[in-house]
Amino acid sequence: MALIQLISVGSRGDLEPYLALLLELQRRGHTVKLIGSPNFADAARNAAIAFDPLPGDFRDLLGSPTGLELLQGKPVRLVTDALLLQWLTTAREAIRGCDLLLVPPLALWAYHLAEAEGCRFAVLSPIPVVATAAFPFLKFPAGQPAPGRVQRRLNRLSYLAFRLLKWRQESRLIQAFRSQQLGLPRLPWSGAAARRDPPPLLTTPPILHLFSRHVLERPADWPDHALVTGYCFNPRSPAESYSPPPDLQRFLEAGPSPFYAGFGSMIPRDPVGLAAVLVEAARLAGQRLILSPGWGRVVPSGDLPSTVYVLEECPHDWLFPRLRGAVHHGGAGTTAATLRSGIPSTVVAFFADQPAWGRTLEQLGVSPGTHHHSTLKAPALAECLRTMAEIPSYRLRAEQLRDQLAAENGLATAVAALEALLVAAPCPDPGRDQQG
């Protein structure tokens, strides 16, 4: 059995599929450990998974002035050199003895630690991160008609450009850390992708995309080491042990199924104003609403009508099947939760991959529209709520997708790929699409 460690930084929703993987690997006899943001500590403890904290609470980072600019879609750098150096230094000590190191795209800097440790390495991604001609980076799903030759080339270049820009932002620090702290050779100007002689264990590390082919089809031009596993849902569902508070149960039973509105870890500049838009949209559409404040404390001022209930914490897999639909930020985790529950939804996006998941839901036929939180208006959102409530095709399509996801076992597929990596012989040939 192996020592498998996972480094992750981000929000609580980002962590869900990774916790499911660690729990399943642990059940199969491996020793596992999570290394991540301090805001993951409670989740790790509740799951009985060993945990080492990294410096910097991600909730504080997103709530900082720079974080708020990032959530507005501005091209700012959230992780400073000083914090990145702390992450590298702390994680280097935490992974001693590691056999397999797992990381999401936000922690690709751990590639260099895996090289120093001489362990195997794999990337776990909730979004497409391998270059494809089908669609640009963060602009999935593929549109119709198929892109022409020039557009296909531009699509592929968008991934290479993003990777190069990210590497050049961090290269001075990482090159110094590699040589001075890890005793590793310098990388080429354009990063690990340009290495002619990568270590055998890092030649073509697998990149596991933790979403369903029924939601986003695997591009035909991806290399063999880029996999689509299906969603990784925790088999130990929190819903099994959840008991709703009496007032929530009374609200659910007091009328037609409500809609849900919540934005998880997103922090808007005007949370009170955004909450007012949500409440007004529900009123205009004649719908009841469960409002989740989240990290941004999206709660209106003043008294609320009896048709609106404020809910602080509740497992999505318990609540969502009881709903008429959802309004959410389009994070990969919340998007997966709505699809698993068989409900339609509409995305009010903030940044990054969220608009793309909104467009994907529209293309799938389970969403009537995608909005941006900074320009959201009550009448437009009310129209989406009415559409989801009154046009049966959205619910029927959502239920069809729910059944397709239920027939998959993304968790078993992902774990099988990781266990196969542990016993595979190192590949002697340099690979392409190397991450780093």
Residue 431 lies in a domain: no
Asked if the model's pLDDT at residue 432 lies above 50, the reply is no
What is the reported pTM?
Answer: 0.94
Q: What per-residue confidence (pLDDT) applies to 239?
A: 67
Mean pLDDT confidence for 285-307: 95
Which two three-digit tokens encode residue 316?
Answer: 């999505």
Residue pair 102/125 in contact by the 8 Å Cβ criterion: no
Q: In Å, what is the CA distance from 183 to each residue of 86, 112, 175?
A: 18, 11, 10
Asked if the model's pLDDT at residue 8 lies above 90, the reply is yes
Residue 430 lies in a domain: no
Mean pLDDT confidence for 200-207: 94
Mean pLDDT confidence for 140-152: 85
DSSP character at residue 399: H
**What is the CATH number for 281?**
3.40.50.2000
**Which stretches within 47-148 are classed as H helix?**
58-63, 65-71, 81-94, 111-117
Is 382 found in the same domain as 260?
yes
Residue 428 lies in a domain: no
Residue numbers of the domain that contains 417? 3-231+408-423
Mean pLDDT confidence for 171-192: 97
Residue 56 Ramachandran class (φ > 0 left, ψ -120 to 50 alpha, else beta): left
Q: Report the distance separating Cα 326 and Cα 262, nearest Å.
A: 8
Q: What per-residue confidence (pLDDT) applies to 59?
A: 86
What angle, 0 to 180 degrees and rounded to 10, lies between the N-to-C axes of helices 392-406 and 332-341? 100
Report the run of H or E that residue 14 belongs to, with start and end.
helix 12-27
Domain count along the chain: 2
Mean pLDDT confidence for 233-242: 79
Mean pLDDT confidence for 392-413: 97
Residue 413 lies in a domain: yes
Residue 432 lies in a domain: no
Q: What per-residue confidence (pLDDT) applies to 32?
A: 98
Is 55 found in the same domain as 14?
yes
Is 305 found in the same domain as 332?
yes
- Whole-number percent of the chain with pLDDT over 90: 84
Q: What per-residue confidence (pLDDT) applies to 147?
A: 82
Mean pLDDT confidence for 199-219: 96
Is 60 found in the same domain as 123?
yes
The neighbour count for residue 56, using CB atoms within 10 Å, is 21
* Residue 14 pLDDT level (bands cut at 50, 70, 90): confident
Mean pLDDT confidence for 202-207: 95
Is 299 found in the same domain as 281?
yes
Residue 245 lies in a domain: yes
What angle, 0 to 180 degrees and rounded to 10, lies between the N-to-C axes of helices 81-94 and 149-177? 70
Q: What per-residue confidence (pLDDT) applies to 240?
A: 73
The neighbour count for residue 418, using CB atoms within 10 Å, is 24
Higher pLDDT among residues 10 and 219, named by residue: 219
Residue 434 lies in a domain: no
Asked if the model's pLDDT at residue 430 lies above 80, the reply is no
Is 52 found in the same domain as 16?
yes
Is 412 found in the same domain as 401?
no
The neighbour count for residue 225, using CB atoms within 10 Å, is 21
DSSP, collapsed to helix, strand or coil, labels residue 75 as coil
Mean residue pLDDT of the chain comes to 93
* Residue 427 pLDDT level (bands cut at 50, 70, 90): low
Residue pair 258/251 in contact by the 8 Å Cβ criterion: yes
Residue pair 316/242 in contact by the 8 Å Cβ criterion: no
Is 252 found in the same domain as 222?
no
Residue pair 162/192 in contact by the 8 Å Cβ criterion: no
* Residue 354 pLDDT level (bands cut at 50, 70, 90): very high
Asked if the model's pLDDT at residue 423 lies above 70, the reply is yes
Q: What per-residue confidence (pLDDT) applies to 433?
A: 41
**Which stretches within 178-291 are classed as H helix?**
246-253, 271-285
Q: What per-residue confidence (pLDDT) applies to 425?
A: 64
Is 270 found in the same domain as 147?
no
Is 216 found in the same domain as 103?
yes
Report the run of H or E that residue 17 belongs to, with start and end.
helix 12-27
* Residue 429 pLDDT level (bands cut at 50, 70, 90): very low
What would you report as the CA-atom Rg of the chain, rounded to the nearest whole angstrom? 22
Q: Report the distance separating Cα 87 and Cα 8, nearest Å.
A: 11
Asked if the model's pLDDT at residue 146 lies above 90, the reply is no
Mean pLDDT confidence for 135-164: 91
Report the run of H or E that residue 290 belongs to, with start and end.
strand 289-292
Is 412 found in the same domain as 290?
no
* Listed range (53-57, 187-191, 264-268, 428-432) with the worst mean pLDDT: 428-432
Q: Rounded to the nearest 5°, which phi and psi values hold at 237?
A: -65, 125
Residue 299 lies in a domain: yes
